[in-house]
Amino acid sequence: MENIKPNEITAGVVGLGLMGCSITTCLLMAGHKVIAVAPIAVDLLHAERRIREHLVNALNHGLITEMPEHYFQQLVLTEDYALLEPCGLVIECTIEDIAIKKSVYEKIEAVVSTNAIVTSNTSAIPISMLQQETKHPERFFGLHWAEPSHTTRFLEIICGAKSEISKGEFLYALSHFWGKEPTLVRKDIRGFITNRLMYSMYREACYLVENGYATVEDVDRACRNNGGYWMTLVGVFGWMDLTGVAAYHTVMKDLLPTLNNQVTIPKLIDDIVKDGGRGISNGKGFYQYTPEEAKLWEETFTEYSYDIRQLALKYPADVVKKKLAALQETKE
């Protein structure tokens, strides 16, 4: 890691929606020069404002020490793919449509060097499938971020069937400069790790509501006050160890056969989407929101993302190992 210098690696971001803007912010905060390309021209109208707001919030919360203008000197916002030519890393952040992604990869690979690493922020499309749409699959990886990308500690680095593992290990090392506690997923699978876990929960949540076992409010309350209470400290396996693994073994025998295993989209969410619901963005989702409520939820989520980051930094994955090392030092 000591040989990696983010300020010597020009990074490209293609796609300037919500995630593209926060990923761009994260890269700027880490010291990269960033070439940010908007495949959709209208995104340029919002990108500068969003990135500036992220940088102002990061400054106010102590994540950076320079004013936003310092970082904007290292940022190029453009519609011109040709400006990606000097990039050693490019991150594609477009919609989950393989045809669109293929078109983007063709434009990226037409200008970057063969040494550049090309990645996708896809949430679920197998990387091995996307690799088939590239000229150099060995340098193609998944980089699965969480929103807001400049504050969360989460990042999955996914190898496809043809990915060169040494390049994946390089991304793993580089991502520590982005403030991440990353996971290198060496074997590709649809949904990777986090989404496979989360969508199992989303499916069960819909099942409980659709079949009258609970309300939407009941399910959310249970999630907030159970999983939401411990997941920043430990993952699912650590939690089972911490609270008694044998008990989970006993419960699994009778509970697992009763869990929902449907393969179609649950009616609860299907009806909302077919009725035009998009959640907070238009006030119609599992809950209804006034414009004022929606704005306050967005502001509250931003505030929370900084608070939970501080808690995650206080309790990193190796927190107990660090405490053991400190105890050992006092004994010597």
State the DSSP code for 288.
B
In the predicted model, is pLDDT for residue 101 greater than 70?
yes
Taking alpha carbons only, the member of 95, 78, 69 closest to residue 34 is 78
14 pLDDT tier (thresholds 50, 70, 90): very high
In the predicted model, is pLDDT for residue 35 greater than 80?
yes
Domain final position from 151, 185, 219? 185
Domain enclosing residue 209, as ranges:
197-320
Q: How far is residue 141's CA from residue 155's CA, in Å, rounded to a whole number? A: 13
Read off the pLDDT of each residue in 115-121 and give the average, rounded to a whole number: 97
pTM, rounded to two decimals: 0.91
Tell me the DSSP string of 274-287.
HTT--BTTTTBSSS
- Structurally, how many domains does the chain consist of? 2
Read off the pLDDT of each residue in 54-63 and give the average, rounded to a whole number: 96
Instruction: Please tell me the predicted confidence (pLDDT) of residue 223.
Output: 97
In the predicted model, is pLDDT for residue 2 greater than 80?
no
Read off the pLDDT of each residue in 97-104 and give the average, rounded to a whole number: 96
* Structural domain includes residue 327: no
Q: Are residues 243 and 306 in the same domain?
A: yes
Q: Are residues 284 and 230 in the same domain?
A: yes
- What does the mean pLDDT of the chain come to? 96
Instruction: Please tell me the predicted confidence (pLDDT) of residue 329.
Output: 86
Q: Are residues 228 and 101 in the same domain?
A: no
* Structural domain includes residue 290: yes
Q: Are residues 64 and 138 in the same domain?
A: yes
Q: Are residues 293 and 269 in the same domain?
A: yes
For the beta carbon of residue 216, count every other beta carbon within 10 angstroms.
15
47: domain CATH number? 3.40.50.720
Domain final position from 127, 152, 185? 185
Q: How far is residue 205's CA from residue 160's CA, in Å, rounded to a whole number? A: 31
In the predicted model, is pLDDT for residue 330 greater than 60?
yes
Judged by DSSP in three states, 289 sits in coil
Instruction: Please tell me the predicted confidence (pLDDT) of residue 17.
Output: 93
293: domain CATH number? 1.10.1040.10
Domain final position from 155, 185, 215? 185
Q: What is the pLDDT of residues 139-178, one digit of tens each?
A: 999 999 999 999 999 999 999 999 999 999 999 999 999 9
From residue 280, alpha-carbon distances to 173, 219, 289, 299, 304 in Å are 35, 18, 7, 12, 16
Instruction: Please tell me the predicted confidence (pLDDT) of residue 332.
Output: 75
Q: Are residues 176 and 208 in the same domain?
A: no
Taking alpha carbons only, the member of 117, 118, 123 closest to residue 95 is 123
Q: Are residues 230 and 144 in the same domain?
A: no
- Within the chain, what is the greatest distance between any pair of CA atoms? 67
Q: What is the pLDDT of residues 273-314, one digit of tens each?
A: 999 999 999 999 999 999 999 999 999 999 999 999 999 999
* Structural domain includes residue 17: yes
* Structural domain includes residue 146: yes
* Structural domain includes residue 107: yes
Read off the pLDDT of each residue in 239-265 and give the average, rounded to a whole number: 97
Instruction: Please tell me the predicted confidence (pLDDT) of residue 57.
Output: 96
Q: Are residues 276 and 145 in the same domain?
A: no
Q: Are residues 157 and 36 in the same domain?
A: yes
* Structural domain includes residue 192: no
8 A C-beta contact, residue 91 and residue 13: yes
Q: Are residues 297 and 221 in the same domain?
A: yes
Instruction: Please tell me the predicted confidence (pLDDT) of residue 1.
Output: 56
In the predicted model, is pLDDT for residue 87 greater than 70?
yes
* Structural domain includes residue 209: yes
Q: Are residues 102 and 224 in the same domain?
A: no
Q: Are residues 249 and 168 in the same domain?
A: no
Residues 6+ apart with CB under 8 A from 109: 118, 134, 135, 136
Instruction: Please tell me the predicted confidence (pLDDT) of residue 98.
Output: 96
Instruction: Please tell me the predicted confidence (pLDDT) of residue 124.
Output: 86
* Structural domain includes residue 225: yes
